[in-house]
Structure 1
């Protein structure tokens, strides 16, 4: 991402994967998640992560256990892991290039190579790799006698913010940014808009303010009018024009950090580029899932409007999804049924409405739709019957265990008649059915989850 080395990207992904696990995992499972690494390379990266964490945190705060008997487990007790990312990224020359471009916008290539002990050919190779990653952002790093950033100023600023947010999250953690003054300004803005934001969001706004106001101090100006939105600018100072303040507020609102909302007129919500698409999608959802409330519908249109705001700056707003968690697949990765329902709805949507142009990114719509789903709609109703010689009291206890453990997979209902059941469970080795022990093991749960997935794929969920 952003042209950093593959090693850094892989370590970032490995760490986040481990942080999402509730218990132990294996090198093989980590490698399988990443898809492109061998077990040996994965283990090498795991050991390097362990060593780095040990140098930054106490064992009580954050540590990585790598054992032959139990496997791999990341232990984190309310510790902020951003220090680990900062150390990992800031070691790279790519980070230094971004920092110099942010602070100066251009610098002498030969002097930079001497300062960082690299050859000019290495610098060109690094910048070529960065440019490949920057294509969706529609900016370009030029390297000749000098190194400079080329592109629309609004896009350049948003790129810098995205890069340094991805690495640091907080302006106070960036030693080369004068964070104190921007944090104070951030608090003043929130007070003006009656926004009681937590410290983390104040830090984010301060980082965004630094990117913009420092760029203004270098004589860089936003030269195009991007937004038609009506906006009451309650806070300004002479460091930026009113048009630039509008850009500052609308971008941070479009990224869903703050409620510095413009006047949400009918035209803004119902007549933007994606309004018709949103109306058609909600109509399909209401036809096949349920009727949404007025508040839910309004929130959906606001999210679509925010998407259109960011697209006014960069043509492919989905490039921000992973950094800012605007479309987070991890949010619904445990809900296979929801993913299946969404895919069927999406197929029908594309087929019936013919949307190719003027269509919001699919993963973003999936995240928004997930928020509309009620808890009971996220998993299927599944009827199970037993073949067992266990007493009824033992079976009742076993049913409660299964219902609890599989609550994110299916709503399990138990029936007496096997002919009325979707799945047959068995506690007896000599009878047909999905084998479940009286005290279920992880292997039993895994076997049953697979059976449910297989059953789901056979269901005729063909909407018409």
Structure 2
């Protein structure tokens, strides 16, 4: 039976359940090229009736008829076949954003990040909501913001509280979620000022950014400039200070005369850590002989080797870079799984259905890695790891290579027979290379014990000619131990 991802509609950042339901319904329909019956759709949800799903689909259908032409986007509902989304010219994300921007929660967060405080009565009168409704909404938003060490207080004024570092970090991802680039953000006065300053910073750092990258870079600059302009100084904790001292930064440009050096360092580290650019922003670790986060990087490589194969030195360097960025970013913001899901960049269940063998190996890798490095056990880094894994080992999957020498007392033809059976049994896990030289082999598989002097210290496993399940288990366990031993040796060498 096909794996089905089950959704819940618990409020996130105060977003209404109806919005979350529409969001998830559109994801499900967009992942199907055919009609889905409402019974099939209901399998994706817990506690949502078919009647509610039908009503919600009709609301979406009505909205689309109002917003889009049939040539752009259409939700077709058939009394027997179910529902089908025909999206022709409209990006999927635009459908979700159109709903999100109508949410009071979105408006409240947008204005609070922009102004830091609001007159409560003005806001709920302008938004045509009661004070009690707004209080309930803020209570829900605070449940989500607590993960980011942020809080909204409600009195005569509605205020956003939290460290300046946390506010700037979250504000960027909030804007990036909906707009991706500065030119797309509505309501920013003097947008050209922020874009021109971003270009000056680019030139100061000697960067070469594409137009799209410059749009994102300008968005990050806007958030940080906005934070500086708010007048709240950027105070670092002892832990954050220690992190900053691990790096050397380029000098702060004179034209950022209202920025402290902490503002400048944070801007550069944060920008680098987002992993949205192929630039190092002229940041270097101070002790090049002792790189940061070596254990985490080697643990990733060890887990990858167990599931896919040995990394090259260049690939290991890419892993280290990705892990360093993720762990540096975690000092500023740790994107939880529900927030990550809103970015609509990956559906792990769909990927699994499309690439079952690869994903089976990836899950083996991921479970091993996250056990060793729980600090990176998140959907966002799982996605980063999946991107790296599919880059290093294409989706047809290069298997771990093992040199095997097969020997039996029966005949050479029986050796070939055993080799083919072994290859068939382990074809999704290992790439067996069969050789006749015992000395060059990683393992000898034989139907009777060979004299030690003939094996040249190569280990041997004695199997039954019938090649039983226990024989297969012994072979599998031995190879896994061999991989672990090699990986442990690599890790121990890194500690020297």
Q: TM-score, normalised by structure 1?
A: 0.72
Identify the range of structure 1 (56-65 vs 290-299) with the bigger mean alpha-carbon deviation.
56-65
Inter-CA distance 207–49: structure 2 relative to 1 (3 Å threshold): farther
Pick one of 320, 325, 334 that aligns with 1:301. Answer: 320
Inter-CA distance 204–358: structure 2 relative to 1 (3 Å threshold): closer
Pick one of 189, 214, 234 that aligns with 2:226. Answer: 214
Output the CA distance in 2 between the equivalents of 1:269 and 1:148.
Answer: 46
Give the match for residue 230 of structure 1. Answer: 248
Whether the 8 Å CA contact 1:256–1:306 is kept in 2: the answer is yes
Output the CA distance in 1 between the equivalents of 2:186 and 2:307.
Answer: 53
**What's the secondary structure of 1:33's corresponding residue?**
coil
Give the C-alpha shift of residue 318 in structure 1.
Answer: 5.9
Give the C-alpha shift of residue 174 in structure 1.
Answer: 3.2
Identify the range of structure 1 (165-174 vs 249-258) with the bigger mean alpha-carbon deviation.
165-174
Whether the 8 Å CA contact 1:249–1:260 is kept in 2: the answer is no
Trace 1:168-317 onto structure 2 (pairs within 5 A).
168-178=179-189, 179-190=191-202, 193-199=206-212, 201-224=213-236, 225=241, 227=244, 228-232=246-250, 237-261=256-280, 262-265=282-285, 267=287, 271-272=291-292, 274-314=293-333
Pick one of 57, 73, 83 that aligns with 2:68. Answer: 57
Trace 1:54-453 onto structure 2 (pairs within 5 A).
54-68=65-79, 70-178=81-189, 179-190=191-202, 193-199=206-212, 201-224=213-236, 225=241, 227=244, 228-232=246-250, 237-261=256-280, 262-265=282-285, 267=287, 271-272=291-292, 274-314=293-333, 321-323=340-342, 329=348, 332-333=351-352, 334-346=354-366, 355=372, 358=375, 360-361=377-378, 364-365=381-382, 366-367=385-386, 368-377=388-397
Output the CA distance in 1 between the equivalents of 2:90 and 2:192.
Answer: 23
Give the C-alpha shift of residue 268 in structure 1.
Answer: 7.1
Output the CA distance in 2 between the equivalents of 1:269 and 1:141.
Answer: 44
Whether the 8 Å CA contact 1:318–1:361 is kept in 2: the answer is yes
Output the CA distance in 1 between the equivalents of 2:101 and 2:366.
Answer: 41
**What's the secondary structure of 2:44's corresponding residue?**
helix
Inter-CA distance 99–283: structure 2 relative to 1 (3 Å threshold): closer
Give the C-alpha shift of residue 251 in structure 1.
Answer: 1.8
Output the CA distance in 2 between the equivalents of 1:63 and 1:76.
Answer: 6
Inter-CA distance 265–220: structure 2 relative to 1 (3 Å threshold): closer
**What's the secondary structure of 2:248's corresponding residue?**
coil
Give the C-alpha shift of residue 188 in structure 1.
Answer: 4.5
Structure 2 unaligned spans of 5+: 1-11, 401-419, 426-471, 482-496
Give the C-alpha shift of residue 153 in structure 1.
Answer: 0.8
**What's the secondary structure of 1:375's corresponding residue?**
coil
Structure 1 unaligned spans of 5+: 381-416, 423-458
Identify the range of structure 1 (88-97 vs 132-141) with the bigger mean alpha-carbon deviation.
88-97
**What's the secondary structure of 2:74's corresponding residue?**
strand
Whether the 8 Å CA contact 2:72–2:89 is kept in 1: the answer is yes
**What's the secondary structure of 1:150's corresponding residue?**
strand
Give the C-alpha shift of residue 358 in structure 1.
Answer: 4.8
Give the C-alpha shift of residue 122 in structure 1.
Answer: 1.6
Give the C-alpha shift of residue 152 in structure 1.
Answer: 0.9
Give the match for residue 451 of structure 2. Answer: none
Output the CA distance in 2 between the equivalents of 1:34 and 1:270.
Answer: 49
Output the CA distance in 1 between the equivalents of 2:322 and 2:138.
Answer: 35
Whether the 8 Å CA contact 1:251–1:310 is kept in 2: the answer is yes
Whether the 8 Å CA contact 1:318–1:364 is kept in 2: the answer is no
Give the C-alpha shift of residue 31 in structure 1.
Answer: 3.0
**What's the secondary structure of 1:291's corresponding residue?**
coil
1:86-127 per-residue CA deviation (whole Å, 9 max, x = no partner) reads 432232221221122122211222332333232222221111
Give the C-alpha shift of residue 151 in structure 1.
Answer: 0.9
Give the C-alpha shift of residue 360 in structure 1.
Answer: 4.7
**What's the secondary structure of 1:147's corresponding residue?**
strand
Structure showing greater Rg? 2
Whether the 8 Å CA contact 2:309–2:399 is kept in 1: the answer is no
Identify the range of structure 1 (42-51 vs 21-30) with the bigger mean alpha-carbon deviation.
21-30
Give the match for residue 485 of structure 2. Answer: none
Output the CA distance in 1 between the equivalents of 2:358 and 2:192.
Answer: 45
Number of residue equivalences: 387
Inter-CA distance 69–379: structure 2 relative to 1 (3 Å threshold): farther
Higher relative contact order (CA closer than 8 Å, sequence separation 6+):
2
Identify the range of structure 1 (124-133 vs 15-24) with the bigger mean alpha-carbon deviation.
15-24
Inter-CA distance 253–16: structure 2 relative to 1 (3 Å threshold): farther
Output the CA distance in 1 between the equivalents of 2:192 and 2:39.
Answer: 45
